[in-house]
Amino acid sequence: MPLQNRMQPDGEIVANSSRGILFGNRGGRIHSAETKTLHATKRWASRQWICCVLEFKGRKRELMSPRSYTELFFLDEVTALAAGHRPCFECRRKDAIEFGETWRQGTDLEKRPSAPEMDRILHDQRLDKHKPKTHQLDWDALPDGAMVSLDENWIAKFQNKSLLWSFDGYSKPEQEIVQALHDTVSCLTPPVTLTALENGYQPLWHPSAHLV
């Protein structure tokens, strides 16, 4: 049985056998070491929600061990950003600095925000009383890398195209979904992350995005 450690774009954590191209955590351990299952109500340990590479300096991990944080897996960075995560400053330092710099440019800050500053703002923008927060926006105005929720589907914007999200990758959505995107949509990606994307941050996409 697959572990409950796979992330949906809306931030829900479910069991699925697909791994995706990135993993991360939510600031600590949110699982039971005895059963390797998530706690019934706990979905984060701190505001430090990060997104990491699968391999770094040859480190090996036992998933959901009693001595470590809870490993969570994402299809790609677009999924992680939609769920409210940011790049890790250890294993993805170059990307994390670029994310902070494009954040700074879009918010007219004098200097790049620190990781704790990013975490505080992201935490306010990704949750509404412990539930995922969405933002009503115009699809045409969204940058590439944004993710929206539409009729129980998740749609990502890539090179001005709409991509249907699944645990295994992206595909072409039905025509009625494409037509519905011309109205106001419920965007999952936090506003400050949209700002970073608008100012040039390039997220890591699952290879399937390039095949649709």
- Written as one letter, the residue type at 129 is K
Per residue in 94-131, pLDDT (tens digit) is 999 999 999 999 999 999 999 999 999 999 999 987 78
Contact (Cβ atoms closer than 8 angstroms) between residue 47 and residue 17: no
Say what the pLDDT of residue 34 is.
Answer: 85
Cα 162 from Cα 126, distance rounded (Å): 22
Count of C-beta atoms within a 10 Å radius of residue 34: 7
Residue (of 29, 58, 192, 178) closest to 125 by Cα position: 192
Beta-carbon count within 10 A of 168 CB: 13
What integer pLDDT is reported at residue 59 of this predicted model? 85
Q: Which stretches in the chain have pLDDT values below 50? A: none
pLDDT of residue 88: 98
Query: What is the pLDDT at residue 126?
Result: 94
Write down the pLDDT at residue 60.
Answer: 85
Under 8 Å between Cβ of 133 and 83 = no
The DSSP secondary-structure symbol of 117 reads H
